[in-house]
């Protein structure tokens, strides 16, 4: 099973990740990891920090001659901004000069609860680790699992359907066409847009909405659409709560900073309709065995994959660092005060889509490993090919 941890502060020397449980024999290119890191840095509405950073990963363990060897893989991404923070973020010596403490929590941020929980009188350490900068390490780690899945014909991709209330019309036909090539074709198309949308008119409106929010010192959230193609039927399980794939996928997505909602398929729309208009009916085809003409379940039935494309949706709240302050107070003086601005982004929804792709990859990879086992890519591929073949041959009238 793949497990990983990340470490690192936003303005510390580096971010890192240790990824354990990757099977052997998977060809990993540093270029692909760095491509994904670059995708995460894109998106209209990012702040000044992205001009400083140009994220690149180093691999310190777990690889030989370009392939995984089954041992833990250590990834490191240096923070370029660290050189500007060596005093404020000094790991050992407390600076002799007085360092300004941060004592006014931002509403909606981890600031207040984090300070109370860890007993700080300065918000700085909370800011450092709660920051979404950490997602760079998660994208690097998740890319390893993404590459593993891609080698087995399973692809993950996303686009953004809504920013600050500006919503894409349902791009169903375009979506079906892109997804028929695999979910990465969808991601490539979305990446052509600065807001990772599929429709030009909506893209222009979303860009204008971000400009307007920036002018007003405000921030915007949005909605991410995530797709996983090529997953066979029967990954995950209904038999125990902790083997339910719906829950594992939702948990991974909700672990992303500022994500506050997850939907599987058309779940909220389905909740308003009778069952006869919701459930995807089953048909038999001579070529493909069982088929469905709709996918309102989002590729998951009974917390297992149905063999259809997995479709998840995630809601990101607007970032809680606003230039125009909200009401807050000073934790030191207990005086009511406007909240303090900490450099941030106006909108990071396009980047969060790339993060969502990365965090679900280990979940799907683990569902695959739970079903089929195996320690080397070739062994796993053989088992998957056989499993796919058996499924194809059953139920063919
Ligand atoms: C973030 C604040 C900003 C963002 C950061 C997330 O960083 P800084 O405080 O250095 O300006 O740019 O995102 C990243 C650095 C990143 O790599 O995504 C926050 O408070 O969460």
Any atom of ligand 1 within 6 Å of the Cβ of 152: no
Which atom of ligand 1 sits closest to the CA of residue 342?
9
Any atom of ligand 1 within 6 Å of the Cβ of 131: yes
Number of domains the chain contains: 1
CA of 128 to the centre of ligand 1 (A): 9
Which atom of ligand 1 sits closest to the CA of residue 131?
21
CA of 139 to the centre of ligand 1 (A): 15
295 close to 310: Cβ distance less than 8 angstroms: no
- Ligand 1, atom 9, residue with closest C-alpha: 343
CA distance 28 to 66: 6
CA of 137 to the centre of ligand 1 (A): 13
| Main-chain dihedrals φ then ψ at residue 252, nearest 5 degrees | -60, -45
Any atom of ligand 1 within 6 Å of the Cβ of 51: no
Domain containing 353 — which CATH number?
3.60.150.10
Contacts of 25 (CB under 8 A, 6+ apart): 67, 68, 376, 377, 378
Angle at 128 between CA 122 and CA 129, to 5 degrees: 115
Structural domain boundaries, residue 55: 3-395
CA of 207 to the centre of ligand 1 (A): 20
Which atom of ligand 1 sits closest to the CA of residue 40?
18
Any atom of ligand 1 within 6 Å of the Cβ of 345: yes
Any atom of ligand 1 within 6 Å of the Cβ of 47: yes
Residue from 11, 43, 45, 49 whose mutation best tests the ligand 1 pocket (most atoms within 8 A of CB) = 49
Any atom of ligand 1 within 6 Å of the Cβ of 320: no
Per-residue pLDDT of the chain (397 residues; tens, 9 = 90+): 999 999 999 999 999 999 999 999 999 999 999 999 999 999 999 988 899 999 999 999 999 999 999 999 999 999 999 999 999 999 999 888 888 899 999 999 999 999 999 999 999 999 999 999 999 999 999 999 999 999 999 999 999 999 999 999 987 889 999 999 999 999 999 999 999 999 999 999 999 999 999 999 999 999 999 999 999 999 999 999 999 999 999 999 999 999 999 999 999 999 999 999 999 999 999 888 899 999 999 999 999 999 999 999 999 999 999 999 999 999 999 999 999 887 889 999 999 999 999 999 999 999 999 999 999 999 999 999 999 999 888 887 7
- Write out the two tokens for 130: 């709660």
CA of 206 to the centre of ligand 1 (A): 21
Any atom of ligand 1 within 6 Å of the Cβ of 109: no
Q: What is the pLDDT of residue 71?
A: 98
- Ligand 1, atom 18, residue with closest C-alpha: 133
Q: What is the pLDDT of residue 78?
A: 98
- Ligand 1, atom 16, residue with closest C-alpha: 133
| Main-chain dihedrals φ then ψ at residue 71, nearest 5 degrees | -95, 165
- Ligand 1, atom 3, residue with closest C-alpha: 344
Residue from 133, 214, 317 whose mutation best tests the ligand 1 pocket (most atoms within 8 A of CB) = 133
Contacts of 289 (CB under 8 A, 6+ apart): 391, 392, 393, 394, 395, 396
> Nearest CA to 298 among 333, 332, 327, 262?
262
């Amino acid at each position: 099973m793949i497990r990983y941890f990340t470490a690192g502060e936003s303005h510390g020397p580096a971010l890192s990740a240790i990824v354990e449980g990757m099977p052997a024999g998977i060809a990993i290119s540093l270029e692909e990891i760095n491509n994904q890191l670059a995708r995460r840095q894109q998106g209209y509405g990012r702040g000044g920090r992205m001009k400083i950073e140009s994220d690149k990963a180093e691999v310190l363990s777990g690889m030989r001659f370009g392939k995984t060897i089954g041992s833990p893989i250590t990834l490191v991404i240096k923070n370029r901004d660290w050189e500007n923070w060596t005093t404020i973020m000094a790991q050992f010596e407390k600076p002799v000069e007085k360092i300004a403490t941060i004592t006014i929590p931002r509403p909606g941020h981890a600031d207040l609860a984090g300070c109370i929980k860890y007993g700080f009188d300065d918000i700085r350490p909370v800011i450092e680790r709660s920051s979404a900068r950490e997602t760079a390490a998660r994208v690097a780690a998740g890319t390893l699992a993404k590459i593993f899945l891609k080698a087995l014909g399973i692809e993950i991709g996303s686009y953004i359907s809504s920013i600050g209330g500006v919503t894409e019309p349902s791009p169903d036909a375009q979506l079906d066409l892109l997804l028929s090539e695999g979910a990465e074709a969808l991601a490539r198309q979305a990446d052509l847009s600065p807001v990772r949308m599929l429709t030009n008119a909506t893209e222009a409106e979303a860009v204008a909405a971000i400009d307007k929010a920036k002018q007003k010192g405000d921030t915007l959230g949005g909605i991410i659409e995530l797709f996983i193609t090529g997953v066979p039927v029967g990954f995950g399980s209904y038999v125990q709560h902790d083997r339910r794939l719906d829950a594992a996928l939702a948990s991974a997505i909700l672990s992303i900073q500022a994500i506050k909602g997850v939907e599987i398929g058309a779940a909220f729309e389905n909740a308003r309709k009778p069952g006869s208009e919701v459930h995807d009916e089953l048909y038999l085809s001579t070529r493909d065995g069982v088929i469905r003409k709709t996918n309102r379940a989002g590729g998951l039935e009974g917390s297992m994959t149905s063999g259809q494309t997995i479709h998840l949706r995630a809601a990101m709240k607007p970032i809680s660092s606003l230039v125009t302050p909200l009401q807050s107070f000073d934790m030191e003086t207990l005086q009511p005060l406007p909240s303090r601005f900490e450099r941030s982004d106006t909108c990071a929804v396009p980047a969060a889509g790339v993060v969502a792709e990365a965090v679900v990859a280990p979940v799907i990879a683990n569902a695959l490993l739970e079903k089929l086992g195996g320690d080397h890519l070739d062994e796993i591929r053989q088992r998957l090919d056989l499993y796919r073949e058996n499924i194809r041959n059953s139920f063919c009238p």
